[in-house]
Amino acid sequence: MRHLAVLSLGLAALLTWPGSAVRAEPRSGGMLRIEWEVKNRFRLFRDEADFQRHVAATRGESVLAAERRLARETDGRGWARDVVERLCVDRSGNLLETCDRDGERENYLAPRDHRVGVALAGTVPANNGCAWSFNDGEAPPKEITAACTDEIKVRVRYGRPTLAAIDIILPDGTAQRLVNEIQVRDVLIAGLGDSIAAGEGNPDRPIRLSDEGFCFRRLGGSEYFRPGRAGFGGNKSCETVPGDDGRTSDWARQSARWLSGACHRSLYSYQTRTALALAVESPHLAVTFIPLACSGATVDIGFLGNLRALECPSPGAGGP
């Protein structure tokens, strides 16, 4: 069964709430058991490495603490500047019906299965290897032989439990068997709202500024200059409004890079960060996030009716 949630402005407080993050127990020591987690469980991300970066940065602390840690690691440039190119959306910010995630083509809104990592945890006895079996009661069981310390990655069918069994081959030729049930819960979250919800003012990759600047006229007629967009080769004098000299596409290419340029929607929005935090804290959960917030949106305009785009449909490249 699919679970649906809609993010609203009231969830902004979660960004600074330390919460009770779910922390995985150490795999070494303790009672012998099978542990599993959904891999790359924030499904907007294409690559597992991008998700694991957030897992490592969170450390059971608040989202704000994680953001500060990621900012230091990127020398203040921000984690989203690269990740924005590796999402299940096109350059205009529209969701892809089919997304290539970690080498597997998935239906984004209706996944058939999920990739999980399964491992043996606890005090492992001396052994000659382990034999795994995964049975969902429909397809033939998947059987894998590996070292007992290896994490096994396998895709499990969504909507039905998969029985994971491991036989630890002991030195005397006997086997010790453990069994656990795997069933992924996929939560569908839609984020709606206006500029506050979209993350206005905080692009994934900001504009690169130029010292040359643009000329602007004051109301009294005098001229003054403001920083311009680096890389733009069009007319910067007061005789022409930037973008009106036939170099509009060049001007747009030097704009900021957004998750959605038309809506000024950002990965730094509180809605995206809340959905991402939920995925980080919940090893048995898959989070399918639909970002729909748009700057300037109201119920009539932007939700029920059309809203004029804030930027060109194909956003700029932003800074380095």
**Secondary structure of residue 118 in the 3-state scheme:** strand
In this prediction, residue 10 has a pLDDT band, given cuts at 50, 70 and 90, of very low
Give bridge partners of residue 115 from the DSSP assignment: 155
> DSSP E strands: which ranges in the chain?
3-7, 33-38, 98-101, 104-107, 113-121, 130-135, 142-146, 152-157, 162-169, 175-182, 185-191, 209-217, 223-229, 285-291
Asked if 255 and 11 touch (Cβ cutoff 8 Å), the reply is: no
Q: What pTM value is reported for the model?
A: 0.82
- Return the amino acid letter for 8: S
**How would you classify the pairing of strands 185-191 and 3-7?**
parallel
Asked if 134 and 141 touch (Cβ cutoff 8 Å), the reply is: yes
- Superfamily of domain covering 3-202+260-291: Immunoglobulins (2.60.40.10)
Which residues have CB under 8 Å from 82's CB, separation 6+? none
Q: Is residue 22 over pLDDT 70?
A: no
Domain limits of the chain? Answer: 3-202+260-291, 209-250
* Range from 24-28, 265-269, 313-317 carrying the lowest mean pLDDT: 24-28
Q: Is residue 315 over pLDDT 60?
A: no
Between CA 261 and CA 264 the distance in angstroms is 5
**283-288: average pLDDT:** 98
Give bridge partners of residue 320 from the DSSP assignment: none
Between CA 320 and CA 318 the distance in angstroms is 7
* pLDDT, position 299: 85
* pLDDT, position 226: 62
* Range from 7-21, 90-104, 114-128, 143-157 carrying the lowest mean pLDDT: 7-21
